[in-house]
Amino acid sequence: MKKITTIITMLILFALQSKSQILQPVKWSYAARKTSATEAVVYIKATIDVGWHVYSQFVKDGGPVKTTINFNPSNTFTLVGRTTEPQPITRMEKAFGMEVGFFEGSVIFQQKIKLKARQVTVSGKLEYMTCNDQKCLPPDNIDFSIPIK
Q: Domains of the chain (ranges plus CATH)?
A: 24-148 (2.60.40.1250)
Global confidence as pTM: 0.84
Phi and psi for 51 in degrees, rounded to 5? 95, -10
- For residues 80 and 113, give the distance between their C-alpha atoms in angstroms, rounded to a whole number: 5
Per-residue pLDDT of the chain (149 residues; tens, 9 = 90+): 555 544 444 444 444 444 446 889 999 999 999 999 999 999 999 999 999 999 999 999 999 999 999 999 999 999 999 999 999 999 998 888 999 999 999 999 999 999 999 999 999 999 999 999 899 999 999 999 999 98
Under 8 Å between Cβ of 25 and 48:
yes
Helices (H) and strands (E) in the chain, counts: 1, 11
Question: What secondary structure letter does DSSP report for 136?
Answer: B
pLDDT at residue 21, as a whole number: 61
